[in-house]
Every structure is written in structure tokens, then in C-alpha cells.
Structure 1
Amino acid sequence: MDGKDVYALCNGNVAYQIHFIEAIRRGWLSPFRYFGVYDDTDYSSIRWLGTHYDDEQLTAAQLKQTLADKIYDAWTEHRQTRTIGFCSSIRQADFLAGYFQDRGVSAVSLHSGTAGITREEAITRLAGGDLEVIFTVDLFNEGVDIPSVDTLLFVRPTESLTVFTQQVGRGLRLSEQKSHCTIIDLIGNYRNADVKLRLFASEGEVEGKAKAAVIPSVPLGCELHLETAVINLLDELSRKKLPHRERLQRSFLDLKNELGRIPTYLELHLYGRSNSWEYRNEFGSYVGFLGWAECLTKEEEEVYYRNEAWIRDAEKTVMTKSYKMIVLLYMLERGPEHWAESVTSREAAPFFHGYLMEKEYRRRIDFSDKDSKRLWEYNEAVVSQLIERMPMSKWGSAKGSMTRFEDGVFSLKIEPAPEHLSILYRWTKEICLYRLHHHFERKEQKQGPLQ
């Protein structure tokens, strides 16, 4: 991830998304053969600095002859013709390139400090078959397309699943020069080792299971081979899983560091390693988690303390349809200064109707039963009656609700200080957009991506 807000390019909507396993099934990406090779390096003895291992200690462990022997043996056993090797550091890349060269392999170390060959020259030589291996640190994470690459060699701990996904993608481009991509991956007792294989699981395969425990079933044409020592290690790591809160915090911090900022609630759902609903279940709300993780300013802590009941209600109010959040989104559309003011069903009706009719999937999922179909042609009076009967009345009368519906007026039971309105607006909008996306995503799950 390069820090650019790709999501914003689509006006806050996911234009199209597909799991790469499904793309392989459809023939859009190359099949793979994955080999999990046991790495006996004791990573628990290397200092962890919150987001990565200590560079000096990690490099010292990686520049050992015995580890280089294992890497070379695994490569010679499983390799094909064109390899990219992903390393942790420039020193490791230089070391392994020299080690392979000493054994007659045409290999180079390619990084920001490389002299004597440019990245373009190395890519051309690799694609042409004159070069067998490129060892690199981070030059091929994203944005580089070499379809003929048929072997990926991972000789570094997986500290970020997002980066690992990008690197795997470098070998899955279709090419007439290959039938599949070979992935050779050293697996040791480093952090994330017990969850990285879920990358190869189909969407939905890990639902209801401890994600760390999943050894996925791969699609037709793909293979997954794990050494016995790797299987035993994964079992051990699964049993030693982190406490729930620490695991959620680690997932959050990984994404925060990749984005360079605190992720929105929807970004946490789309890109986070843990299920987004776990934050709500564990902390009452995503904002509640941010408070626990000490990611709120003093002012934000005060806003949360004074409005926690509203945040929790917005997070947890029951939704069989999207109607509650559409009304709330209309209120938010009035801007940070006026969003919390009361509203009538007639005021919300045009936006409510337009939102549901704008996208085919919204209309099909939440506006296509016998009664609502009659409302496809806009009728303000009838749409207003629907809004009063369902989201406004039902939400306002729910036990513990922080909303009320009286005399045809829907309002929130909050009185934030004027200087706190913008903070509460931002949090409420994040919850609203997340819940709308998650609602339609869940309903659409078995029917393909949202269009």
C-alpha cells in the first residue's frame, strides 16, 4: 500500500473486489504450488519493536551458512526458471546473491543501493532467461509486472500480510511461459506465521473458525505442501495464540502502520486481519477500542465519555434492513454543525428513496418485497409513511435506544457541546458507512460482488 486513498477514488464505494483465489478459479491468475519449508531460526530471541524485528539482530540470524544452505537446497528442489527472492534487508539480499553466485547460479541483489545494473536491466534479463534469481528487499512489492516470473522465494518473516499478498501477486500473472507459480516460503516461529496461510483460503473458508488454525483447501490446479515440522510448528503457535485483545490490537497496529494513520472503521473491515465485528463485541464499539488502545486525544476521550451510549447504540442497533442507517446517513449529509438536529420523515424521504434506488443491489436486497416494489416510482407521502413505520418508530421505541420518535419528529437523545459536534459527527459517519457496507455485503455474500 502506497498511502494513497484508493477507496476515495470510488467516492467511498468498493467498485469491484474479488479474492485472488476466486480469480485463479476463473482463470484470471496463474495457479500456484506452495511449499512451506521449515526455518529453525529462533525468532523469539530476536527483539520485537512493535511493528518489526530489530534489524541488526534479525540480520545476524539470517546471515548464517546453515540457513543459506537450507534456502539453496529448497530452491534447487522446487524452483522453475525465473525467481524473485524477497529478503528482509540489503545485507541479506547481497549475502544470498553472493551465495548463489558461488554455486554457479546467475543471481543479483537488486535494491536502492545496487550498482552495476539498473532495475530495468535486471527485469529484462530475468524475463529473457539470462538471469535466474533477483534477490530484493522491497522493489517488487507492487506496481511491477513481470508475467514470466514463475518462482517466488520468501526468506524473510512475514511482518505484514498486506505486503505478503502484494509479493505473492508478483508471481501470479498469466504467461504462456509458465503453467503455474512455485512459492517457496520459509516458515519459522516468527509473528504472523500462524495466520499467513489464511491468505490462500477462499472467502468464507475461515468463517466460524480460529483463523490461525486454518490450513486451507486450495482450488483445482493448485497445490499446498507443508513439511511435517511446519505443520507441528503451526499447531504449537495456534495453541499459544495471543489473548484476544492483544491480537485485535496487533491487527489494528499493522494496518495503522501501513496506512500511516488510524484506519477508518470501514478500512478496518476491508483491510484488517481480524474480523471488524470482534472490536465491537470486545469493546462495545470501534471508538471504544481506540480509547482502550490509547489512540484518542484528551478531547476525544471526553467526547467519547459523554456520548458512549450513543456510539454503542449506533453500533449495535438491530438491522434487518438498511433503513435505520439510511435515515442516519441523511442526517449526516447535513454536515458537522447540523447533523444531530431532529428530522421528519418527509425531509428524509427523497434521500431515502434515492439511496435505495441508486444501486441495483440496494434495490434488490432491501427494496424489492411486495410493498416496497410499489414505491420504486417515488411517492413522497407513501415513502414517508414507510420511514415513520420502520426505522423511525422501531428505533425510537427499542429498549435502551438513544433515539426518540414523537409527534412525527425523529431525534437523537444527545446534547453534545458545539465544540464536540465535529468529532461525534466523524465517528457517527464512520459507523454509519461501515454498517451500510457490512449489511449489503453480508446479504450479497452468496451472490457475487456488489455492482
Structure 2
Amino acid sequence: MSKVELISRYLLDKLQEQISRSSTIYILTSFAMKSGVRLLNGDLKAAAERGADIKVCVGDYLFVTQPEALRELISIHPDIEVRLYRSEGVSFHPKAYLFEDAEGGYFIVGSSNLSRSALTDGVEWNLGLDKSVDEGVFAEAMEQFLKLFYAPETVPVNVETIADYEKQCQDYHQRHPNLARTWVEAEEIELMLPAEQKEIEVSDEPPDFVRETAAPYGTIQPRFAQVEALRRLEATYEEGYDKAMVVMATGLGKTYLAAFFARRFSRVLFIAHREEILRQAKRSFERVMPDRTGGLYDGNQKEGNADMVFASIFTLSMKKHLHAFQPDSFDLIVVDEFHHAAASSYERVLRYFRPRFLLGITATPDRNDNKDVYALCDGNVAYRIDFIEAVRRGWLAPFRYYGIYDDIDYSQIKWLGNRYDEEQLLQAQLREEVAEKILRAWEQYKKTRTLVFCSSVRQADFLSKYFQRHGYRTVSLHSKQTSISRKQAIAMLERRELDAIFTVDLFNEGVDIPSVDTLLFVRPTESLTVFTQQVGRGLRLYEGKDYCVIIDLIGNYRNADVKLRLFDTQRGETKKKARESVVPTVPETCELHFDVQAIHLLEEMQKKRQPRKERLLADYRQLKQELGRRPTYLELHLHGRSEAAEYKSEFGSYVGFLYWADELSDLEKDVFRKYESWLVEVERTVMSKSYKMVVLKAMLERGPSGWHQPITPQEAAPFFHRYLTEKEYRKRIDFSDGETKRLWEYDQEKVSRLITRMPMTKWSGSSNGLISFANNVFALQFAIENEHEEILHNWTKEICEYRLHVYFERKGG
């Protein structure tokens, strides 16, 4: 095989050759047509059947990709992963085919999309390169593909997301009929659509690292929050949990905490989504355990034999690299927060490994933002401290927040689903009068060393030059900056040779500058997670820093009012007032100051908040699309953006919500109407202990046709005892008082007496006649029709499993 070759006709032959021999097959195209998919259908199916790792990413740019092509792709084989890149109008034109096997690799980059003409006799130019030409470039191509494949802009292709895409397709082509007709009449003709260049704000520069000062850690012993968190983590492990998460604000040393906890395990795997985080974690772990070996496992290095392996999730999500390890290779796996990557890639990796313990660590305080880590750890939060509590305790620097009114009208700027249209945003931002207002606010409130968070490279450059013209020493630091490195800029800021660094997203994670004492936000807050991380950049303790100044432009952009909850000491508490104040309550050592116009704007935004029912429906639909099916109640709790309890509160039961949302079949609607009172009873019955749901679970174990039959305490006793004693934390929470502790060794008569007295007698008395307990028999007091048995069994089981999970999750915390 030639090492480099031009392929101008019949790319299909080369693809079929490579697919037939490869164990890794990655396809990235701007669009896919059903004709092109069908040409590769048989080859891809055969490869999947022999266990190849196959991933296909296609774009939705101008809705050229056919819904039928997506259906064809997901029908080939269930193990083929397909994702759709939602371009939201941004140019998306890649065409690449990557292959790897045990002997080597091959990749093709060129002009051919996934259509018949592009793969056969169309006029196309593609360059095929053997991996041996440049193994570094090949590794980078594989890594970049995976980062794009799992980017936040992508969604899994399934029946739900295809249905949504098809509706958008139809709407778009109704509004652009000429384009639609072109593709109907000649779908095989490549349409090279005009593309506007968009600045990509992801750093490709070699990582520069700022080593944390040794002072905070001294002899590498746990300090501050780490002491509490480590004690709670170790107790969690001793109680029989096999997974947990820790929520610790940026600046409290969550990575060091993980290292201290890791001392009790022989081999450790640390997984993250960014190289900077991996390298910093490696240094932290090696300082805590200098006698252990540490190795990186990413696109460039494969040091998998070390005692402590620090691996990129993108590398591990490749089957060949995942299977380079045995499932039991690691005793402890630590997962760093991963809001930038798809949760499915982590789930796949963690399904493969069988560690003694899984630890998720995150700095984001809101469940909405760390729901993926939360779900991976089964909702078990071993320790939690957000930055507000850390400020109260003196573990992070206090702050003075200044909310400055931003008169840009963001309602006139197009929203692209997860960000504002960049060109429209820049037209509003890159004005002298806007820069002047920012400069004056900064001059009024700043201290000595400033980080400025911008929304784009062009905004960072514009503002930096504007500040320079007014006599200040500034630099715009981003991926396109070549005249100064990140490391140099940070050193100059620390020495006060710079007044400010203007940046985009380089300082969200992985780099700490404790001396920074002023933060300036000149961007709309699109993500509460990102805002949380950026605020954390200024709160580290540092000699001579008595507080941090936060200067924040507040406009009518999305989340402007929501983000202020971050500063609220009463966040999450039940408020008796009809409407919460838009001004949060902050620690005594901190201050909040707002322009009057900003206050009025926030109050107006609060009034217009999305109604609760509609928000719950939107969050439900988002999760349904991610899963490709209706989520179970427990999945809604673990993965949903809204708390599952809100659905119960608003609709009486989860099934009640499904009924309201028209998510039930006609038969399911009949079942809901007939047995609604039962479903509400199971949802709402008081649980001071888990016993009611454990007895119900024992009944449900008998299957759809037998679950509702009467049961005696003696029949329930074996399952009841086994369930409450098989996990240490269940024993500790619900089976360890004076009486039940004596029942750790099974005694049917004594366990039966407990069941008689506690769940059966009590539940029958509070069930409004739905349950009876007489003559030693626990029975449902309503008939269930045969055709309704399975549906009602499944719904009851979902509620039961959800309530047990939430009960032990809450009690265990």
C-alpha cells in the first residue's frame, strides 16, 4: 500500500478494503444520504459483528442529511454509535474516514461525503495516508475526532432525535423550497455550501502549567475541607458503598483530596477530559505518594503500566485502548467533572472496569450542572461544600461583587440553542461606547491583577487594544495568540508587569493564579458551570489578598438572573415569601452592589421565568432524546435536569406527568385513570424507614401476573432480610437499632414479627382503604384486570425503585 495516495474516483473500494480489516472505524462527514449509507451497510454490519469499534458523526448543516440516512445508519447494528452534530447555522464541512487495526492505520481526508456519487463516480479528491507517514498526526486525528464526536453540540442518533430532526428538516425546507427541490431531484450531487469562517476558541497550544505554590499544602497533609471530606469518604467506603461523589468548590483541593483517598488503594485510574487536568492531577498524586509510579494515557503517551494512570476519556473511549486494560486492573477509579464530554463515553468505560470504588469529583454546586457525575455515582454524595460555605469558613477569599448594567439588547441576538450567534453578538459588543463603559467600571472597582472573561477571540483582542490605548498593560491570551505564551503572561501578571489578561475559556479549568484579585465578566453567561469555574479563579487565598473584586456586566441575556444564585447563602432553602428577592444573601464578609437599572432588569426577568410545567416538560424531552426512549422514574432522578420530586409535586406522580404530557398510549391512559389513586399512594406514602417499599419490592419480584397477590409476613421475610443486610449502608441506616441489629443473623419468626408491626400494619392503616392487613395477610383492596397487569406492575416497580434509591441516598448523606 502506498503511504500517501490521491483517490479521485471510487473511494468506495478503498473504504470497503479498510472496513474489512480494521478494528477501529471512525467516519466524520458533513452530511449523509441514504444511498451512501446503503453502499456501506453490509461492510459496516460485518465489522460490527466481529467487534469493531465503529463511530459515525454526521452534520445537520442546512439540513442536507436525510432523516432516512440516519434511520439506515442506526439500523445496521446496535453496537455502531451514531451522533448528529447540531451546527445551528455554523459551517460544518469535515469529510474524514479513519481506520486502525493491530498492524497499523490509515486515514482519508478530502471532499467525499456519505453519498453514492461521492463514494463512486462523482468528481472528488481525497488524500489517503498511512499511519506510518506521521504517527503523531494520526493520533491527533483520532483524538480530535473523538472530541468532536462527544462535543456538547452533538446528540445521539435514535428514534427520538431523528423524529425531532425530521420536523426541523421539514420546516427548513418549507422555508427554503428551492434547496429542498434540488436535493429531491438530484440528491447525489454534492452541494458545496458557502461557509463563513468561525473562530474556534479551543486552545491547541502546548500546555503551559503554573505549579501551585507549595505553601498551602506544606508536608502534603489534608487541610481545611479536605479533612472533613476525607473522613466522610472513608466512612462511605467502610459502610459498603462502591461509589460516591464529592462536590468541592474550586480552590479547595479536590484533586489532592482524591490523592489522599487513593493512598488506601493499590492501583488508581484518574479520568478527565482535558490534558491540563491530567497533568496537574499526576503531579498532585505524585506529591502525595512519591513512592508510586504515575503515567499518562492520552493521544500522545501510553504509560498504562504505572501504579497511577491518568487517562484521557477520549483515548479510553476507543475500544482498542480500553481493552488494553483488564476489567479489574484498577482498585480505584477517579472521574473528574466532565461537563464538556458526553456522559455516554464515561458510562461505557465504567461499565467495562470493575473497581472496588468509583469516586466522582466536581466543583459545580448545582445538581443541574453535575448531573452526569451524580448519575454515575448513583446519586451518593459523600461530601459537599460549595464556594459560599468555604468563604464563610475562611477557606476561600471573600468577594465584593459589582453588578453593572449592560444595555445591549440580547433579545435581538439570535440564540443558537447553546450560545448566541457570534457575528450578531460581536456587532453589539465591538463598539467604542461599550468598551468605554467597561473601562470606567473596571477603573472604579479594580484591585491589582485582573482576569477578563470574554465571549470571543475578537472581543478579547478589541478590548485589550482599547485598554492599551488608555495606558494600561494588557494582553489578549487565546489559542490564536503567538507572540506570548500562557506561562509568560501569567508570570507577568503575577509580577504586576501586566494589569489584565483578556481571555476566552483558557482559565476555566486546569490553571490556577492565586494572586488574581479582580475578575471582569464582559460576556453573557451561557453556562452556570462555566461561570462557577471562572468565579473560582479569583477566590484562592493568597498573601496580601483580603478580598476579590468581581465586576459583572448584567444584561437581558439568558441565565443573567439565575447565575446570581451562585452567591446565595440561602440557595436551596424553602422560601416563605411569594417571590424571592433577586438580590441574594451573601456571607457577612462579602458585599453585593448593583446598578439600579440592573436590579430592575433582574426583577423583570424573574417575572418572565418559564412556567414550571413547561420547564419540566422541556427537561423531560431533553432526557428522552438523550436516551432514545421514555426514561424510567429513577433515570429521570439521576439524569434529568429538573429534580424528579418536582414532577411528583406538580402532577401527583411521574405517571401523572406522562398522562398530562400525552406520553402514554391509549391503553396506558386507561390504566392510569383506573389506578391513579394507587400510583399516588405508592408515590406519597410516608417513609420514616424503607420497610414499606422493601415489602412492595418483595411482592414485585413475583412478576407481572403475581405481584398483586396477597402476601404474608413469613413469605416476605427472606427477601426483606436479604435486601436490608446485603449492603452495609442499608444495615446502618435501617437495620441497626437495638432490635433490628439482633436480626442480622436471619430468624424468620422475629423478622416476620417486625414486618407485621412496621410496614404491614402501619401501611394498611394509612392507605385510604387501598391496602388491608388482616389474619396475617397483606393484600391490595382493588382488582387488576389481566390486560392491565404488566403496565401497572412496571409503573409500580419504577416508583418503588425510585423511592428506595432516594431514601437511602438522602439518609446516607
- Scaled by the length of structure 1, the TM-score of the pair is 0.76
Verify: 1:139 aligned to 2:513, yes or no.
Answer: no
> What is the rounded CA distance, in whole Å, between the counterparts of 1:119 and 1:335 in structure 2?
63
Equivalent residue in structure 2 for 1:221, among 584, 589, 596 = 589
5 Å-filtered alignment, 1:104-115, equals: 104-115=471-482
Q: How much does 1:374 deviate? A: 6.4
Q: Structure 2 vs 1, CA of residues 73 and 436 (structure 1 numbering), >3 Å: closer, same or farther?
A: same
Q: Is the 8 A contact 1:330 1:351 kept in 2?
A: no
2:392 is the alignment partner of 1:25:
yes
Counterpart among 346, 357, 381 of residue 14 in structure 1: 381
Deviation at 1:34, TM superposition (A): 0.8
> Residues 291-328 of structure 1, C-alpha deviation per residue, up to 9 Å, x if partnerless?
7678x7xxx86896476547644433333333334556
2:531 pairs with 1:200: no
Q: CA deviation at 1:72?
A: 1.3
Contact preservation (8 Å) 1:25, 1:219: yes
Name which of 798, 801, 809 aligns with 1:429: 801
Match in the other structure for 2:721: 350
In structure 2, how many angstroms separate the alpha carbons of the residues matched to 1:34 and 1:177? 19
Deviation for aligned residue 1:16 = 0.8
Counterpart of 1:2 in structure 2 is 340
Does residue 416 of the first structure (1) align with residue 783 of the second (2)? Answer: no
**Percent of paired sites with the same residue:** 51
Provide closer, same or farther for how the CA distance between residues 68 and 21 of structure 1 changes in structure 2, counting only shifts above 3 A. same
Letter of the structure 1 residue corresponding to residue 402 of structure 2: F
1:185 Cα deviation from its structure 2 partner? 0.9
Q: Aligned AA for 1:433?
A: H
Could you tell which deviates more after superposition, 10-19 or 429-438? Answer: 429-438
Aligned to 1:43: 410
Q: List runs of 5+ in structure 2 lacking aligned partners.
A: 1-338, 344-371
**Mapping 1:230-249, distance limit 5 Å:** 230-249=598-617
Does 2:643 align with 1:280?
no
Range moving further from structure 2, 95-104 or 425-434: 425-434
Q: What's the CA shift for 1:68?
A: 1.4
Q: CA deviation at 1:120?
A: 3.8
Instruction: Select the residue among 296, 303, 315 that pairs with 2:683.
Output: 315
Task: Give the 3 Å change call, closer, same or farther, for CA 128–255 of structure 1 in structure 2.
Answer: farther
1:150 aligns with 2:150: no
Q: Counterpart of 2:790 in 1: which secondary structure?
A: coil
The residue correspondences of 1:387-426 to structure 2 (distance < 5 A) are 387-395=755-763, 399=767, 415-416=789-790
Q: Which stretch of the first structure deviates more once superposed, 387-396 or 169-178? A: 387-396
Does structure 2 retain, via aligned residues, the 8 Å contact 1:88–1:137?
A: yes
Q: Over residues 316-371 of structure 1, what are the superposed CA-to-partner deviations in whole Å (9 max), with x where a residue is unaligned? A: 33333333345566788x799999698843123334543786269735xx965x76
- What letter is aligned with 1:188? G
8 A contact 2:619–2:641 mirrored in 1: yes
Tell me if the contact between 1:141 and 1:166 (Cα under 8 Å) persists in the aligned partners.
yes
Return closer, same or farther for 1:242/1:398 CA change in 2, 3 Å cut-off: same
Query: Partners of 1:120 and 1:337 in 2: how far apart?
Result: 64
Q: Supply the distance in 1 between the matched residues of 2:627 and 2:535 (Cα, whole angstroms).
A: 20
Per mean C-alpha deviation after superposition, the further-off stretch among 136-145 and 57-66 is 136-145
SS in 1 for 2:558: coil
More helix by share: 1
Segment drifting more, 17-26 vs 270-279: 270-279
Q: Which has the larger radius of gyration?
A: 2
Structure with higher strand content = 2
- Equivalent of 1:94 in 461, 472, 488: 461
How far, CA to CA, are the matches of 1:147 and 1:263 in structure 2? 43
Q: Partners of 2:645 and 2:607 in 1: how far apart? A: 23
Q: Per-residue deviation at 1:210? A: 5.9
Q: For 2:655 and 2:527, how far apart are their aligned partners in 1?
A: 24
- 1:372 Cα offset (Å): 5.4
Q: By how many angstroms is 1:188 displaced?
A: 1.5
SS at match of 1:129: coil
Compared with structure 1, are the counterparts of its residues 106 and 16 closer, same or farther at alpha carbon in structure 2 (3 Å cutoff)? same
The amino acid that maps onto 1:415 is E
In the TM superposition, residue 151 of structure 1 has moved relative to its aligned partner by: 1.6
Q: Residue 15 of structure 1: SS of its match in structure 2?
A: strand
Worse-superposed segment, 44-53 or 373-382: 373-382
Would you say 1:180 and 2:547 are equivalent positions? yes
Letter of the aligned partner of 2:389 in structure 1? E
1:30 deviation in Å? 1.6
Separation in structure 2 between the aligned mates of residue 324 and residue 210 of structure 1, nearest angstrom: 35
1:31–1:85 Cα change, 3 Å: same
Question: Quick one: structure 1 residues 401 and 80, their matched pair in 2 at CA, closer, same or farther if it must change by over 3 Å?
Answer: farther
1:359-374 equivalence runs, <5 A: 362=733, 368=737
Q: Do the aligned partners of residues 204 and 64 (structure 1) sit closer, same or farther apart at CA in structure 2, a change above 3 Å counting?
A: closer
1:185-231 Cα shifts (integer Å, max 9, x gaps):
11122222223222211245741246753422211211111122222
Question: What amino acid is aligned across from residue 237 of structure 1 in structure 2?
Answer: M
Give 1:233 deviation, angstroms: 1.9
Structure 2 distance, partners of 1:129, 1:265, is: 54
CA 1:336/1:110 → structure 2, altered by over 3 Å: closer, same or farther?
A: farther
Q: Which residue of 1 aligns with 2:535?
A: 168
> Distance between the aligned counterparts of 1:137 and 1:256, measured in 2?
33
* Cα shift at 1:61: 1.5
Per-residue CA deviation, residues 368-389 of structure 1 (Å, 9 max, x unaligned), is 5x76576678755333332343
Deviates more, 1:398-407 or 1:259-268: 259-268
Quick check: 1:54 aligned with 2:425? no
| Closer, same or farther: CA 251–12 of 1 in aligned 2, 3 Å | closer
CA distance in 2, matches of 1:20, 1:258: 31
**Matched-pair contact (CA < 8 Å) for 2:565–2:571:** no
Q: Tell me, which stretches of 5 or more residues in structure 1 are unaligned?
A: 442-449
Matched with 1:116 is: 483
Q: 1:62 to 1:245 in 2, by over 3 A?
A: farther
Q: What whole-Å deviation, never above 9, does each CA across 1:379-437 have from its counterpart, x for those lacking one?
A: 5533333234333454466547887878656789672279x96x986676345423543
Deviates more, 1:388-397 or 1:183-192: 388-397
Cα-to-partner distance string for 1:16-66 (whole Å, 9 max, x where unaligned): 112321121122222111111111112222233444333332222122222
Which amino acid in the other structure matches residue 437 of structure 2?
K
| CA shift for structure 1 position 287 | 5.9
In structure 1, distance between residues paired with 2:702 and 2:532: 38
CA distance in 2, matches of 1:105, 1:340: 75
Please give the per-residue CA displacement for 1:98-141, whole angstroms capped at 9, x wherever unaligned: 22232233323333333333434433443443333222332333
What value does the CA root-mean-square deviation take over the aligned residues? 4.4
Work out which structure has the larger RCO, using CA pairs closer than 8 Å and 6 or more positions apart in sequence: 1
Name the SS for the 1:35 alignment partner.
strand
Question: Secondary structure of 1:416's match?
Answer: helix
Distance across 2 between alignment mates of 1:337 and 1:261: 21
Amino acid at match of 2:607: R
Provide the C-alpha distance between the structure 2 equivalents of 1:255 and 1:225, rounded to a whole number of angstroms.
38
Q: Match for 1:119: what amino acid? A: R
In 2, are the aligned partners of 1:205 and 1:216 still within 8 Å (CA)?
no
- Where 1:66 maps in the other structure, the secondary structure is helix
1:37–1:184 Cα contact (<8 Å) kept = yes
AA paired with 1:2? H
Q: Distance in 2 between matches of 1:168 and 1:270?
A: 27
2:445 touches 2:549 (CA, 8 Å); kept in 1? yes
C-alpha displacement of 1:236 = 2.5
The DSSP-based 3-state class of the residue aligned with 1:215 is coil
